[in-house]
Structure 1
Amino acid sequence: MTDFRNPAAIAPPVGAYSHAVHVTGPGQWLHIAGQIGVDAQGTLASGVQNQADAAWKNLLAILADAGMGVQHLVKITTYLVDSKDLPAVNAVRKEYLGECRPAATLVVAKELARPEWLFEIEATAFKGD
């Protein structure tokens, strides 16, 4: 069972996420490595919004391959190289997550593993038996 937690004893989340996700019972965990904005042929998308879109498509393809969907995401970590890109990547995130609110962390880093990468996302998912 997955329970999204936002206790009344603390301030509500400042964005589209939950403070915690409590998972109980038997099931399957999926840990997804950082996904960047490349298509199936390995071509890097241009611009942060297109890179975010491609990375989310990759993440959803991995979930689908494991028989899961966005509703099974319990934690995501997003990496950006420029905080000014937050509105653009939040729009992409909303398109893919809808009303799903996994626990989330956003990191703005000086750069990612390669200088042309502007966005990366990693995730953990759980599907109860």
Structure 2
Amino acid sequence: MPRFFNPDSLPKPASNYVQAVEMSGPGRRLIVSGQIGVTPEGRMVEGYGPQTEQAWRNALAAVAAAGFDIADIVAIRVYDVAPGNVAAYREIRDRMLGGHAPASTYVIVAGLAHENLLTEIEVEAFRQD
């Protein structure tokens, strides 16, 4: 089982994530490509909150399709185009993950693959056999 922790030698996290995750032993690793606010039918949703929620639904669907659970998520990387969305992102992340707190990176970028995309979320999971 991965060990989620915050070393005393590092600053405390600013929100619900951990500074480090240790994985050892045999297991399966899942890397989910960056997910965006597009429905499975191919429709891009509008607005930061709806796009972020859809990106999370997509990422969590990939996690479930591989036989993993939310608790198996060990790392998240988020790319946002607008600097004022971190609080909204954190609220959505915490709700979608049900309080699970993996390692997390949040980056503001100049743009994504399509001009109307506002966020992209990558997820990594690990499950011991």
TM-score by length of 1: 0.96
* Structure 2 CA distance for aligned equivalents of residues 85 and 10 of structure 1: 25
The question of 1:37 aligning with 2:67 is answered no
2:120 corresponds in structure 1 to 120
Do the aligned residues in 1 keep the contact of 2:15 with 2:90 (CA within 8 Å)?
A: no
CA displacement, residues 57-107 of structure 1 (integer Å, 9 cap, x when unaligned): 001100110111210111100011001122222221111112211111001
- CA drift at 1:9: 2.0
Question: How far apart, in 1, do the equivalents of 2:10 and 2:85 lie?
Answer: 28
Aligned equivalents of 2:90 and 2:107: distance in 1? 13
Please name the residue that 2:28 is paired with: 28
Displacement after TM superposition at 1:25 (Å): 1.1
Give ranges in structure 2 of 5+ residues lacking alignment: none
Identity in percent:
38
Q: Does 1:77 align with 2:73?
A: no
> Where does the alignment leave 5 or more consecutive residues of structure 1 unmatched?
none
Structure 1 segments of 4 or more deviating over 2 A? none
User: Cα RMSD (Å) of the superposition?
Assistant: 0.9
What is the rounded CA distance, in whole Å, between the counterparts of 1:40 and 1:126 in structure 2?
25
Say whether 1:90 aligns with 2:107: no
Distance 1:10 1:127 in 2: 26
